[in-house]
Amino acid sequence: MKTSLMLSSALAAVIGCAAMSANASPSAEEMKKMEKCYGVAKAGQNDCAANGHACAGQGTKDMDKAEWKAVKKGTCEKMQGSLMAPKA
């Protein structure tokens, strides 16, 4: 019983992460009109893996300089973000 529950939970976590990535990330066509903007994503609203996590939507703190969010071209700096990734 415990094994079945653990396997079901693990499977749900994997499916959930994949679904979040598919829904949160813009398509390649949409990205042509957008730019990566570092430091503007609120917790859970980042668009890609960073800071040791592997999925979009897993950022844990607001405005983390290492997390990015896709925004309409020309708006990043107006939002006080950066077009450059922070140096490691």
Q: Which pLDDT tens digit goes with each residue over 45-69? A: 888 877 777 788 888 888 888 888 9
Range of the domain at 13: 2-79
Could you tell me if residue 88 is inside a domain? no
Could you tell me if residue 34 is inside a domain? yes
Max avg pLDDT among 13-17, 48-52, 72-76: 72-76
Could you tell me if residue 30 is inside a domain? yes
- In a 13 Å sphere around the CA of 18, the CA atoms on its Cβ side amount to 6
User: So what's the pLDDT on residue 76?
Assistant: 95
Which of 26-30, 72-76, 79-83 is least confident? 26-30
What's 67's DSSP letter? -
Q: Which of 79, 49, 75, 84 is nearest to 63 (CA)?
A: 79
Could you tell me if residue 86 is inside a domain? no
Could you tell me if residue 29 is inside a domain? yes
The total number of structural domains in the chain stands at 1
The tokens describing 49, both together, are 């893996």
